[in-house]
Amino acid sequence: MADNFLRQVNTVPNFGVDLLFEGKDGIATGTVATNHKIPAGKVILGVIYRNIENDLTAGASGTVLANIGSTALGTAEAVADIKGTSVVQILATPVIATGDPVKLTVGTAGITAGTLDVVILYV
């Protein structure tokens, strides 16, 4: 039984993309495009915003929101809520990837410091 368990753990793929955004040089409000595309037809289940190192800061009430093409993945998350932790958003309605690039929309105020990991979970 133990061998079967180990085999299952080792054969289950890790589905997701992890994008790192550096805030130390400043990220202005607007949309930041990436060159990463989630393959068309994949089902996006959620997004994790995390700030593990270098405290994430933004101007007054700064927000972030991951997008695939023009489709928002969840709702905008306050940068202040992400600072020093992780915030998970499970999508109420999964999104079908179209092959469009992943984007990050920074709203209200730009990011001025820290690192932001954006992990998009899909199957």
The answer to whether 77 and 41 are in contact (CB under 8 A) is: no
pLDDT digits (tens, 9 = 90+) for 22-52: 777 778 888 888 888 888 999 999 999 988 7
pLDDT above 70 as % of the chain = 85
Q: What is the pLDDT of residue 15?
A: 62
Q: What is the pLDDT of residue 96?
A: 94
Q: What is the pLDDT of residue 5?
A: 43
* Kind of pairing between the strands at 71-72 and 30-37: unpaired
The answer to whether 74 and 47 are in contact (CB under 8 A) is: yes
What's the CA angle centered on 22, arms 30 and 102, to 5 degrees?
55
Q: Cβ–Cβ contacts within 10 Å for residue 58, how many?
A: 27
pLDDT digits (tens, 9 = 90+) for 60-79: 889 999 999 889 999 999 99
Q: Which of 2-11, 80-89, 109-118 has the lowest mean pLDDT?
A: 2-11
Spatial distance between the Cα atoms of 46 and 49, rounded to a whole number of angstroms:
10
Single-letter residue type at 5: F
Q: Residue with structure tokens 């994949």? A: 42
The answer to whether 47 and 89 are in contact (CB under 8 A) is: yes
Is it the case that residue 80 has pLDDT exceeding 60?
yes
- What phi, psi does 81 have (nearest 5°)? -80, -20
